[in-house]
Amino acid sequence: MGVPFNITPVKSPHPKLLLLLLMLGLALNLQAQNRQRPSTPEERTANWLRTMDKDGDKKISSKEATALMKKNFSRIDSNNDGFLVETELSQLANRLSRIRQRPQNQRGNSRRAMSTEQLLKTAPKDVVIEPDIAYRKGKSEAWKLDLVMPKSKSKKARAAIIFVHGGGWRSGDKRSGYFLRGAIEYAQKGYVCITVNYRLIGEAPLPACIEDVKCAVRWLRANAKKYNVNPKRIGAYGNSAGAHLVCMLGLVKPSARMEGDGPYQDQSSMVQAVCASATPTSFVLDKDRIKRRGLPGAMLAGPAETLVARATATSPATYVSSDVPPILLVHGAADTTVNVKHGDTFHAALKKVGAKHLEYIRVDGAGHGVFHQASKRTFPAMEAFFKKHLLEAEK
């Protein structure tokens, strides 16, 4: 026979108490959801740092980044230093907020511009900046550049450098990261510099961006006397998508019909020296990606039957020849965004045809941000490169 036991009945909570407990549970649940889904840019930035900054140094390394932050790390890291600091995270949070607030049919172009007021306020005293110059007339807001030049006068016409931002052809801005900072630094070294915006692929697919940067070069030559520029001594620097574009400036002649319908067609759009880092050199090299690039809204959107022809026509590797200008290439061997085979095959092709002034810095272990990751090597190399081929070439 079993051991007898007693069951003490438990009284049900009062209905008001049940309602109170239910409301408290809902409040805590909503609070948890709010913590998981920050609603303001400030909250998003703080949340990213709280969840990913494991060592508490108030910045997120590529190893600490997770999910989409890790996947898009190189694009968010505007100065390519291998870390996402609060400023870069704040820019991302603001951009996401703006995109979400826009109607769906207006999404696609993503710029993160410093205001003109901020630009002029923070400009060093030894340079002069002329912001938002329209290099051609028309409806596109992208057709603008910032010009930075030394404040000191020079009787001799100065060499010039064009800085072209990256961002996968779909984002970025002429005032982001090193593209503005580099223009200022080289203006302090005696160059006249421009940093350029161009149509992103949300506005128009390739070759629109190529046509735009070529128009900007022609604008600079047409205004050479006004800004005391030597039109025979113009160089260009770009990273990633910007590297692709500056290579097109160095290699593509008017016969390729990439000049577009912009003005100053009597001027050359080619540059005399190119420094390019993490460069996509051939759109037919990655055959698995060609079809995706031809879809609506993609970089090579258009008819499927001419996709390979368009990909070939917009690739720097197509225009390799012995008379290319001096080129300095930089690529990270561990780049997962633009595989190092782009740099390797491009360098080999240029070398094979007898390019006369070719330098290749291939950095083991470096990723897509190679230019800043290996800055102790790349920064002096670029300065020496432009000095040799733009300044000393004048003598």
- Pick the most confident of 72-76, 119-123, 129-133: 129-133
Distance from C-alpha of 362 to C-alpha of 224, rounded to nearest angstrom: 35
Q: What is the dihedral of CA 365, 318, 250, 128, to 10 degrees?
A: -70
Assess whether 373 and 307 both reside in one domain.
yes
Domain-embedded: residue 19: no
Domain that holds residue 35: 27-101
Assess whether 207 and 253 both reside in one domain.
yes
Number of domains in the chain: 2
Find how far residue 250's CA is from the centre of its chain: 19
Assess whether 233 and 296 both reside in one domain.
yes
Domain-embedded: residue 5: no
Domain-embedded: residue 356: yes
Confidence of residue 320 (pLDDT cuts 50, 70, 90): very high
| 30, pLDDT greater than 60 | no
Structural domain ending residue among the three candidates 101, 132, 166: 101
Structure-model confidence comparison of residues 105 and 198, the more confident one = 198
Assess whether 140 and 72 both reside in one domain.
no
**What's the pLDDT at 14?**
57
How confident is the model over 55-107, as pLDDT tens digits?
Answer: 999 899 988 999 888 878 877 887 778 889 887 787 787 667 655 544 433 34
**What's the pLDDT at 237?**
98
Report the chain's C-alpha Rg in angstroms.
Answer: 26
Answer for the pair 87, 79: CB distance below 8 angstroms, yes or no. no
Confidence of residue 278 (pLDDT cuts 50, 70, 90): very high
Assess whether 83 and 126 both reside in one domain.
no
Confidence of residue 286 (pLDDT cuts 50, 70, 90): confident
**What's the pLDDT at 394?**
63
Domain-embedded: residue 170: yes
- Summary mean pLDDT of the chain: 88
| 29, pLDDT greater than 80 | no
Distance from C-alpha of 367 to C-alpha of 186, rounded to nearest angstrom: 25
Residue whose C-alpha is closest to residue 140's, from 204, 58, 215? 204
Domain harbouring 289, CATH code = 3.40.50.1820
Structural domain ending residue among the three candidates 101, 127, 151: 101
Confidence of residue 194 (pLDDT cuts 50, 70, 90): very high
**What's the pLDDT at 34?**
44
| Contacts (Cβ under 8 Å, ≥6 apart) of 269 | 214, 215, 217, 218, 249, 254, 259
| 13, pLDDT greater than 70 | no
Assess whether 205 and 141 both reside in one domain.
yes
Domain-embedded: residue 344: yes
**What's the pLDDT at 86?**
80
Assess whether 50 and 122 both reside in one domain.
no
Structure-model confidence comparison of residues 394 and 111, the more confident one = 111
Domain harbouring 74, CATH code = 1.10.238.10
Domain-embedded: residue 17: no
**What's the pLDDT at 99?**
54
| 154, pLDDT greater than 60 | yes
Q: Specify burial of residue 144 (Cβ count, 10 A radius: 0-12, 13-18, 19+).
A: middle
Report in angstroms the alpha-carbon separations of 232 from 101, 228, 262, 269. Answer: 46, 12, 21, 11
Assess whether 41 and 130 both reside in one domain.
no
Structural domain ending residue among the three candidates 77, 101, 125: 101
Assess whether 80 and 132 both reside in one domain.
no
Assess whether 96 and 121 both reside in one domain.
no
Assess whether 258 and 352 both reside in one domain.
yes
**What's the pLDDT at 92?**
83
Assess whether 187 and 150 both reside in one domain.
yes
Residue whose C-alpha is closest to residue 129's, from 237, 242, 227, 273? 227
Domain-embedded: residue 160: yes
Domain-embedded: residue 234: yes
Tell me what the mean pLDDT of segment 380-395 comes to: 91
